[in-house]
Structure 1
Amino acid sequence: MYFAAMLARTEDGWEASDTELDNVETLSDIADLARESAINEDTVLVLIEQEDAWFGVVRVDGEDDPRVYLSNAAVANRSSYGAMLVEELVGREDDEDVELDALDLDGTEDGEPDIEEEEDESDDGAAASVAPNGPLGDTRLLEDLGVDEKVLLALDGDALTSIADVLGCTEILEAVR
């Protein structure tokens, strides 16, 4: 069972709304939903949890790229919404690796594949993406809001309530729960 809520920052604090993720297939879809809820292109947080097994935070600030944090990527990867976020995050890391490979820093000749790349390919030719066991993403995405990296990494159980406590919007979040 999922719980998803959107917290939109306003001049008067935070507004919360229950978020329906049925039509969401990508991180871009989540970002679009968040931008629709934004007041004056201010910060919107999409909070997702699955039965205290994992939680995720997607932060959208105006037209900037969304920032994502997952508490446990391996567990999240077993669920549809979590897997979507893991895929986005692992894909970003792969893109960064590709950019480095384009600089030919690995010692291979142009056009010559890495031995590791050949081993990472599955039977259908697509690169295998493996979710790491533990946190994944931007561990500092809530620092300016009062939730530093150490606190975020230590959260478990009812993490969304703990985040809402720091933001000062626990009652607002609980009203949509």
Structure 2
Amino acid sequence: MAYFAAVLARTEDGWDVSETELDDVETLADLTELARDSTQDDDSVLIFIEQEDAWFAIVRVDGEEDPRIFVSDGAAAARSSYGSVLTDELVDQAGESEFGDLDHLVVELEEDEEAQEQDEDARSGVPVGPLGDAHLLTEFGLAAEELLALSGEGAVPGDALEEIAEALGCGEVLGAVR
């Protein structure tokens, strides 16, 4: 499957954006290290990942803090190697008391039990729909509700990342590397 990945490092002068390869990424720690290596300071770094308009993810790393993750569709992401790194981490975190339960991490899932019974991914423990921290971009001016709307049914992940970049003020520079 084809994917697009970019590192967006927030600096005093704005956002520095560069396309990146994820070939050496096997764990969330690898992805976090990639983010931290892209900045000299403890500036905020975002990694945008999009796979064939099936799903997108945003990973936010602030200095030495634990990364924050948002995935537009957990079940779709879980079917890919790069996405499963993120969804596995989110599902693992759900069982740890410091992160709360899975209901805290899963945002606005469909409650249609019949659809979930038919969905193989739902039975495997990865929810269909948005998963993770929908508030990770609030500080940059993108409310959780807006992020969820861009992740909703019928949304196109590539277009969503462009809209998110525009809201963050780095749409042109992201477009240049895309």
TM-score (norm 1): 0.80
Task: Name the structure 2 match of 1:163.
Answer: 164
After superposition, residues 14-93 of structure 1 pair within 5 angstroms as 14-93=15-94
**1 CA distance for matches of 2:124 and 2:92?**
8
Amino acid at match of 2:147: L
Task: Name the structure 1 match of 2:125.
Answer: 130
After superposition, residues 136-151 of structure 1 pair within 5 angstroms as 136-151=131-146
1:119-169 CA deviation, whole Å, 9 max, x = no partner? xxxxxxxxx951101111001000010111110001131111011101111
CA RMSD of aligned residues (A): 1.9
Task: Name the structure 2 match of 1:11.
Answer: 12
* Structure 1 residues 92 and 166: alpha-carbon distance in aligned structure 2, compared to 1, 3 A threshold: same
Amino acid at match of 2:148: L
SS of 1:64 mapped into structure 2: coil
**2 CA distance for matches of 1:141 and 1:35?**
17
**2 CA distance for matches of 1:134 and 1:50?**
15
Which ranges in structure 2 are unaligned for 5 or more consecutive residues? 102-122
Which ranges in structure 1 are unaligned for 5 or more consecutive residues? 101-127
Kindly indicate whether the alpha-carbon contact (under 8 Å) linking 2:10 and 2:44 is maintained by their aligned counterparts in 1: yes
Cα deviation for residue 94 of structure 1 reads 1.6
Give aligned pairs, total: 150
1:41-97 CA deviation, whole Å, 9 max, x = no partner? 100000000121110000000000000000000111111111111000000112239
TM-score (norm 2): 0.80
**2 CA distance for matches of 1:37 and 1:71?**
24
Amino acid at match of 2:146: V
Amino acid at match of 2:79: R
Kindly indicate whether the alpha-carbon contact (under 8 Å) linking 1:71 and 1:136 is maintained by their aligned counterparts in 2: yes
* Higher RCO structure, 1 or 2 (CA under 8 Å, sep 6+): 1
**2 CA distance for matches of 1:137 and 1:166?**
20
Residue 152 in 1 paired to residue 147 in 2?
A: yes
SS of 1:69 mapped into structure 2: strand
Task: Name the structure 1 match of 2:96.
Answer: 95
SS of 1:9 mapped into structure 2: strand
**1 CA distance for matches of 2:145 and 2:54?**
19
Kindly indicate whether the alpha-carbon contact (under 8 Å) linking 1:7 and 1:16 is maintained by their aligned counterparts in 2: yes
Kindly indicate whether the alpha-carbon contact (under 8 Å) linking 2:93 and 2:99 is maintained by their aligned counterparts in 1: no
* Structure 1 residues 97 and 33: alpha-carbon distance in aligned structure 2, compared to 1, 3 A threshold: closer
